[in-house]
Amino acid sequence: MLLKNKRVLVTGGCGFIGSHLVDRLIELENEVTVVDDLSASTMEYIEGHMNNEDFKFVRGDIRGKKVLQENCADKDAVFHFAANPDVKLSVNEPYIDFSINVIGTMNLLEAMRLNDVGLIVFASSGGTIYGDVEVYPTPESHIMKPISVYGASKATCEMYISAYSECYNMKGVSLRYANIYGPRSIHGVMHDFFWKLKKNPSELEILGDGKQNKSYMYISDCITASMMITEYILNSQMNYDAFNVGVSNQIEVKKIADIIANELKLDDVQFSYTGGQKGWKGDVHKMLLDITKLETLGWKSEVKLEDGIRMYIRWLQEMFG
């Protein structure tokens, strides 16, 4: 079964990853409905689809049951990408992640059950659900031990999706993403460094000690891998599965700063550090996902990390000067 000419719901489809996913689903000639409350995004990246008769946008909050029940009707699959995108915000306002991520996901699963929707593809989080680990690269079998409220909410959603998949004969798959970056992203260390250097080209404050070592995946690779996994679960005998989605290498935060400064042609940037292993409470200072399982599907990364960072910074310059 190919995900083509299907009726698909995408929650959070106006956001960074979600909007790129919508583009790919439209390319595959699916009928796509997006539900997004625009609290963390705009309609900018779906505007090109608004005149497409196979595309529909609904402004709505996934904490509202009615909007989900109405828009799950007659759907073949749901891509669930709506969430609070700000990990740091959840530290100071922990109920936000429970409210949006957990309650919203439960509302969606119930709407799917009542409408007999057969597949949910969930945007989870690789680094935050595993927490601080000693096993590198970290496989899907590793215990979940979140150290942030955001990670706890994603892990909770995975458990409910697994349970619903078994109890109600759905198929579900969790995509445990590495740090995804690229055009349309308005969060993350690369975005922050760009704006700090735009404000002050001579100095850059780096949270933590700059030695945080993590894995980063370019958005086009992310979407290709996500679609490959979706095809796998559709053809699998399993009701539920989880995949790490990332690349096989990692990079220190200070090296990212060096690349961005070089791309911006800034030769004498003075770096300063706030100190400590972690940039903020709940930060995972070291992360590398084991992607062996993904690679068994035939997936290979196409974008080298430094090339991707430079492409993203060029996009930010083009968009914001």
201 part of a folded domain = yes
Measured CA to CA, the distance from residue 208 to residue 272 in angstroms comes to 10
Q: Give the residue from 293, 280, 139, 161 showing the smallest Cα distance to 229.
A: 293
Q: Do 223 and 270 lie in a common domain?
A: no
**Which of residues 192, 227, 245 is at a domain's end?**
245
Strand runs labelled E in 89-185: 119-125, 171-177, 179-181
Q: Do 155 and 252 lie in a common domain?
A: no
- Residues 6 or more apart whose CB falls under 8 angstroms from that of 81 comprise 10, 11, 12, 13, 15, 17, 18, 21, 123
**pLDDT on residue 1:** 46
Choose, from 45, 130, 136, 150, the residue flagged as catalytic.
150
- Give the residue, 87 or 1, on which the prediction is more confident: 87
Please, are residues 78 and 109 in contact by the beta-carbon 8 Å criterion? no
Q: Do 62 and 176 lie in a common domain?
A: yes
Measured CA to CA, the distance from residue 245 to residue 228 in angstroms comes to 11
Written as one letter, the residue type at 137 is P
- CATH code assigned at 315: 3.90.25.10
**pLDDT on residue 280:** 63
197 CB-contact burial (10 Å; exposed 0-12 / middle 13-18 / buried 19+):
buried
2 part of a folded domain = no
Q: Do 164 and 285 lie in a common domain?
A: no
β-bridge pairing 7-11 and 31-36: parallel
Please, are residues 77 and 25 in contact by the beta-carbon 8 Å criterion? no
Residues 91-115 have a mean pLDDT of: 95
306 part of a folded domain = yes
pLDDT surpassing 70 at residue 169 = yes
Measured CA to CA, the distance from residue 123 to residue 177 in angstroms comes to 7
Summarised one tens digit per residue, pLDDT across range 111-147 is 999 999 999 999 999 989 999 898 999 999 999 999 8
1 part of a folded domain = no
Q: Do 225 and 83 lie in a common domain?
A: yes
Summarised one tens digit per residue, pLDDT across range 54-87 is 999 999 999 999 999 999 999 999 999 999 877 7
Active site annotation includes 150: yes
Q: Do 26 and 150 lie in a common domain?
A: yes
pLDDT surpassing 50 at residue 6 = yes
Q: Do 129 and 195 lie in a common domain?
A: no
CB atoms closer than 10 angstroms to residue 240:
19
- Looking at the 3D structure of the chain, how many domains does it have? 2
Summarised one tens digit per residue, pLDDT across range 238-274 is 999 999 999 999 999 999 999 999 999 998 999 999 9
39 part of a folded domain = yes
pLDDT averaged over the chain?
Answer: 94
- 295: three-class secondary structure by DSSP: helix
Q: Do 61 and 147 lie in a common domain?
A: yes
pLDDT surpassing 80 at residue 2 = no
Strand runs labelled E in the chain: 7-11, 31-36, 55-59, 77-80, 119-125, 171-177, 179-181, 203-206, 213-214, 216-218, 240-245, 251-252, 270-273
Written as one letter, the residue type at 127 is G
Q: Do 105 and 204 lie in a common domain?
A: no
311 part of a folded domain = yes
Summarised one tens digit per residue, pLDDT across range 202-231 is 999 999 999 999 999 999 999 999 999 999
Q: Give the residue from 242, 108, 109, 237 showing the smallest Cα distance to 173.
A: 242
Domain that holds residue 14: 7-180+217-245
Measured CA to CA, the distance from residue 175 to residue 60 in angstroms comes to 24
Measured CA to CA, the distance from residue 12 to residue 14 in angstroms comes to 6
Q: Do 153 and 186 lie in a common domain?
A: no
110 part of a folded domain = yes
- Residues 6 or more apart whose CB falls under 8 angstroms from that of 286 comprise 132, 136, 212, 213, 214
**pLDDT on residue 90:** 75
**Helices in 116-241 by DSSP H: which ranges?**
126-130, 149-167, 189-199, 219-235
Q: Do 99 and 210 lie in a common domain?
A: no
β-bridge pairing 213-214 and 251-252: antiparallel
Q: Do 79 and 38 lie in a common domain?
A: yes
